[in-house]
Chain A
Amino acid sequence: MAHPYENLPATAYWKTGVAEKNPLQLSGLWTPKYQVPMDAPIVTAGSCFAQHIGRALGARGYQWFDAEPAPAWLAPEDAQAYNYGIFSFRTGNIYTARTLLQWLRLAFDEMQDPGEWWHHKGRVYDPLRPAIEPEGFESEAEARASREATLAAIRRAVERAGIFVFTLGLTESWRNAESGLEYAMCPGTLAGTFDPEVHVFHNHRHSDVLADMETTLALLKVKAPELKVLLTVSPVPLTATASGDHVLTATSYSKSVLRGVAGELTQVHDHVDYFPSYEIITHPVFRGMFYAPNQRSVVPEGVEVVMSKFFADQEAAFGPAKGRRGKGAKGGGKAARKLRTAWKEARGDEDVKCEEEMLNAFAR
């Protein structure tokens, strides 16, 4: 009698899909639900691994959307130091589903800003992104104005994007016990002062993360009905855990929860997909070859393999990428430089004009 495990493709069997293959030649790890067109604005946010995705998309000519570009005249090294061009907006890393939801709720006025700012040595730090300005802000007013600009950029990004890529990073977080505000980092580590009466640890459960992500998807659906969502899970282990568990098992818990939620959301929502960058980096089949000696950082070769599989699986499913090839980053970065070049060209051949002008004035 025939059964469902007969006549499946080679990728469905461990022997033919994995065991008999060189790990670098594994293919078909992702069957994308939808095509990522080259001319669709792509927004990236999430934990630190998300920045590799944005950079790789831009390098391949996809329209990575920089909704909060570095201002003109800021040197590239300063732009990086001030967290421009890392993600689509200057939120810094968004590690948890709850902090993503907070950012979106703040951006769309669905949450009141608790007005909490951290102070250290006369400078002001944003608890939602304490590393965004290397030396902090000079005042609360400045920090608030900067936050408002980022919230505007988030609105712009959501409303204009075709695809929202979010990399889930952590389940562990710290919150304000009174306001419930979830911080980007534990107070006192990078900025702020830790107060055990105010700052409480929270390790999100599967149901927490799922609920926050469902709320996030519902909000996005209202604000941008056509927006597609692509989830990934960061393969970068925890730096440290406050859970009381060993950091290795705490990492397993965290990543398992996030991977489970991503899988569940993909099953439930047609417009949500999951790209397995997490598996490509972490799976035992790859023998840890994409990690640096600290067994935590992902080496550039690993990122390259991840992104080459992204593009290969897109092409396998839909053929060569469609849409007009973009100019890489849209809204800032390279696009801004091109704009400035166009401006300089448009003002004309100044040398020729100069000559005419000088000859007129100083002719003897």
Chain B
Amino acid sequence: MPSPAERAAPLQGAPVPLPSLCIFGDSHIASVKHALDRGLLPHVTDHLEFWGAYGPAFRALEFRDNTILPGDAAAREMVARINGAGREALGGGDFAGYLFYGARLRMADFMPPLLETLCTGGHLSAAVQQKVARRFLRGTKAYRIACAFARATPGLTIAFAPAPLLTRGVGSPGRLYPGAEGATADQRDAIRGWLDREAAEDGIRLLHQPEETITAGYWTDPAWASDEAGQEDDPVHKNAAFAARMVEVFRDSLAG
């Protein structure tokens, strides 16, 4: 397997970089920043900005007139620190592309219980697949914002990388879905397909966690766990190499 740095090297036939890209999200965008700082990111844009917040401040972000705004002083201060370019509000037409990263759309909440259903003899009709996918996606504020951006500016590049599966053996999550530990790549692909069909209707490109980062059915392989100081027991966040890999997935999606 090539190292992250090798993978980050420019590829022949790679898509033309976007003139500008905003990576919007919650605490998960920190790993993208780490990847950027370490030179791991592939070249996907000529102008990159981060915009977002974490914790209660993320929940305090408001959406009005196709623009995301900090809803209180704490959120304003945090957005300013994360963006670092003085962009106090994020408009749907400010960038050529938007990558929603994490942003409370948690694949760890969606995929494991549905894999458990599939792995224990259950079946979802296409109609039910559509309903569960729609409820998961449209129940998340950031996803609804992404949809609004897409509606407001047809042709805009909008991708959404949901927060990845929890990391196996890190922190306290137990084996709550024992049946799903035997899930196959085909079963995971099937569930991703349900989401992709719905997202396509909304003009959103979903970026899925690559198979090589998944282990034991519904866990992220610990090799991709966050390696930042103080994050040793954190099953949620991932390391810079993982973020670089996800941006590669984004780059590949730009190629169509």
Interface residues of A (CB under 8 A from B): 68, 71-75, 78, 82, 133-135, 137-138, 142, 145-146, 148-149, 152-153, 156, 336, 339-340, 342-344, 346-348, 350-351, 353-358, 360-362, 364
CA distance A17 to B85 in the complex (A): 86
Most chain B beta-carbon neighbours within 10 Å: one of A73, A82, A148, A343: A73
B228 & A72 in contact (Cβ 8 Å cutoff): no
B113 & A358 in contact (Cβ 8 Å cutoff): no
Residue B1 at the chain A interface, CB threshold 8 Å: no
B135 & A356 in contact (Cβ 8 Å cutoff): no
For window 41-81 of B, CB contacts with A under 8 Å fall at: 50, 54-56, 58, 78, 81
B113 & A78 in contact (Cβ 8 Å cutoff): no
CA distance A73 to B28 in the complex (A): 23
CA distance A227 to B28 in the complex (A): 51
A148 & B123 in contact (Cβ 8 Å cutoff): yes
- In the bound complex, residues from chain A placing their C-beta under 8 Å from that of B82 are 358, 362
Which of B30-38, B86-94, B209-217, B248-256 has 4 or more CB atoms under 8 Å from chain A? B30-38
A78 and B131 contact, Cβ closer than 8 Å, known pairs A343-B173, A362-B30:
yes
B236 & A133 in contact (Cβ 8 Å cutoff): no
Q: Which residue of B lies closest to A148 (CB)?
A: B123
CA distance A68 to B121 in the complex (A): 9
- In the bound complex, residues from chain B placing their C-beta under 8 Å from that of A358 are 27, 30, 54, 78, 82
CB distance from A263 to the nearest CB of B (A): 37
CA distance A93 to B248 in the complex (A): 51
A357 & B125 in contact (Cβ 8 Å cutoff): no
CB distance from B218 to the nearest CB of A (A): 10
CA distance A347 to B136 in the complex (A): 18
Sample (17) of A-B pairs whose CB atoms are under 8 Å apart: A71-B113, A71-B132, A72-B113, A74-B135, A78-B128, A134-B127, A138-B126, A148-B121, A156-B121, A343-B177, A347-B172, A348-B171, A354-B55, A357-B31, A357-B54, A361-B29, A362-B84
B114 & A149 in contact (Cβ 8 Å cutoff): no
B27 & A72 in contact (Cβ 8 Å cutoff): no
Q: Which of B50, B110, B131, B172 is in CB contact (< 8 Å) with A348? A: B172
The number of residue pairs between A and B whose CB atoms lie closer than 8 Å in the complex comes to 142
B127 & A135 in contact (Cβ 8 Å cutoff): yes
Residue B112 at the chain A interface, CB threshold 8 Å: yes
- In the bound complex, residues from chain B placing their C-beta under 8 Å from that of A68 are 122
Interface residues of B (CB under 8 A from A): 26-31, 33-34, 50, 54-56, 58, 78, 81-82, 84, 108-110, 112-114, 117, 121-128, 131-133, 135-136, 166, 171-174, 176-177, 226, 228-231, 233-237
- In the bound complex, residues from chain B placing their C-beta under 8 Å from that of A346 are 172-174, 176
CB distance from B154 to the nearest CB of A (A): 29
Q: Which residue of B lies closest to A145 (CB)?
A: B123
A356 & B230 in contact (Cβ 8 Å cutoff): yes
B127 & A343 in contact (Cβ 8 Å cutoff): no
Q: Which of A149, A340, A347 is in CB contact (< 8 Å) with B121? A: A149
Q: Which of B31, B114, B135 is in CB contact (< 8 Å) with A361? A: B31
CA distance A351 to B177 in the complex (A): 24
A355 & B123 in contact (Cβ 8 Å cutoff): no
A336 & B236 in contact (Cβ 8 Å cutoff): no
User: 10 additional contacts, CB 8 Å, given A71-B122, A74-B128, A134-B127?
Assistant: A74-B135, A75-B135, A148-B121, A336-B113, A348-B233, A351-B54, A357-B31, A360-B229, A361-B30, A364-B81
- In the bound complex, residues from chain B placing their C-beta under 8 Å from that of A82 are 125, 127-128
CA distance A284 to B230 in the complex (A): 74
CB distance from A36 to the nearest CB of B (A): 27
B117 & A75 in contact (Cβ 8 Å cutoff): no
- In the bound complex, residues from chain B placing their C-beta under 8 Å from that of A135 are 127
- In the bound complex, residues from chain A placing their C-beta under 8 Å from that of B50 are 362
CB distance from A63 to the nearest CB of B (A): 18
CB distance from A357 to the nearest CB of B (A): 4
Q: Which residue of A lies closest to B175 (CB)?
A: A346
B171 & A347 in contact (Cβ 8 Å cutoff): yes
Q: Which of A71, A339, A362 is in CB contact (< 8 Å) with B128? A: A71
A137 & B128 in contact (Cβ 8 Å cutoff): no
CA distance A350 to B234 in the complex (A): 9
B114 & A73 in contact (Cβ 8 Å cutoff): yes
B132 & A354 in contact (Cβ 8 Å cutoff): no
A142 & B27 in contact (Cβ 8 Å cutoff): no
A73 and B122 contact, Cβ closer than 8 Å, known pairs A344-B109, A348-B171, A358-B30:
no
A355 & B54 in contact (Cβ 8 Å cutoff): yes
A353 & B237 in contact (Cβ 8 Å cutoff): yes
CA distance A149 to B122 in the complex (A): 5
- In the bound complex, residues from chain A placing their C-beta under 8 Å from that of B231 are 353, 356-357, 360
B127 & A133 in contact (Cβ 8 Å cutoff): yes
CA distance A135 to B236 in the complex (A): 39
CB distance from B242 to the nearest CB of A (A): 13
